[in-house]
Amino acid sequence: MNNGTFITFEGPDGAGKSTILSMVAAQFPNALVTREPGGIDIAEQIRQVILAKENIKMDPRTEALLYAAARRQHLVEKVKPALEAGQLVLCDRFVDSSLAYQGYARGLGLNEVFSINQFAIEQMMPDLTIYFDIEPEIGLMRINKNKGREVNRLDLENLSFHQKVREGYLLLLDRFPERIKRIDASKTMDEVFVEALKLVDRKVSEKKQR
């Protein structure tokens, strides 16, 4: 039923996920490249509520539930059909972002956030998650250099929040060593790209042999 390969790109802000994802995607013209909410109407509407600067009153559990809801809709409308058609799916952030940001950094608990996400995604965990590991200072510096980028509510959180996000990812790496593979994202773009491509290639051929 599920013949495709589902790969997610994760890591702190400014780690280089989107940059490297587009470089990898260029090697796989038939891949579905996406990110939540991925142009899915219902998920886009939910995302606007999450990111709106005026929503400073938002309760952390409300935020986690909204992310899970948007995720569900994007998964069902876009990712699942592609996987069923045997495609490679490259997704910029997925469930681990909720675990690291809401579960760990906001202190909701990894297990609690994982359980609402399991309800949302059922059994559709990624076949591979590439974790782009970077010191938050470097990541935020990279982002600030890129002035064209829109600043959203989450960017305004302080540095210690971003440090907790990274700690959260490192805990996940420990908990899911089979699924999550770490890349040192402080290396040059070309080095990071070569490592990411190797991981994707390996997973794609592994799935083909099954």
> In the complex, which residues of this chain contact ligand ATP (CB under 6 A)?
11, 13-19, 142-143, 146, 188-189, 192
Q: What are the Cα distances from residue 56, in Å, to 36, 52, 153, 176, 179? A: 22, 8, 9, 33, 34
CB atoms within 10 A of CB 192: 23
Q: Are 173 and 180 in contact (CB under 8 A)?
A: yes
CB of 210 to Mg ion, least distance (A): 31
Euclidean distance between CA atoms 148 and 27, whole angstroms: 27
Residue 142 interaction partner, one of Mg ion, ligand ATP, none, beta carbon < 5-8 Å per kind: ligand ATP
Residue with CB nearest ligand ATP? 16
Please, what is the minimum distance in Å from the beta carbon of residue 204 to ligand ATP?
A: 22
- Segment contacting Mg ion by CB under 5 A, of 17-25, 62-70, 81-89, 166-174: 17-25
CB of 181 to Mg ion, least distance (A): 19
Contacted entry of Mg ion, ligand ATP, none for residue 74, CB cut-off 5 to 8 Å set by kind: none
Q: Nearer Cβ to ligand ATP, position 85 or 189?
A: 189
CB of 26 to ligand ATP, least distance (A): 14
CA gap 174, 13 in Å, rounded: 20
Among 2, 3, 18, 48, binds Mg ion (CB under 5 A): 18
Torsion of CA 117, 118, 123, 127, to 10 degrees: 50
Backbone angles phi, psi at 191, to 5 degrees: -65, -45
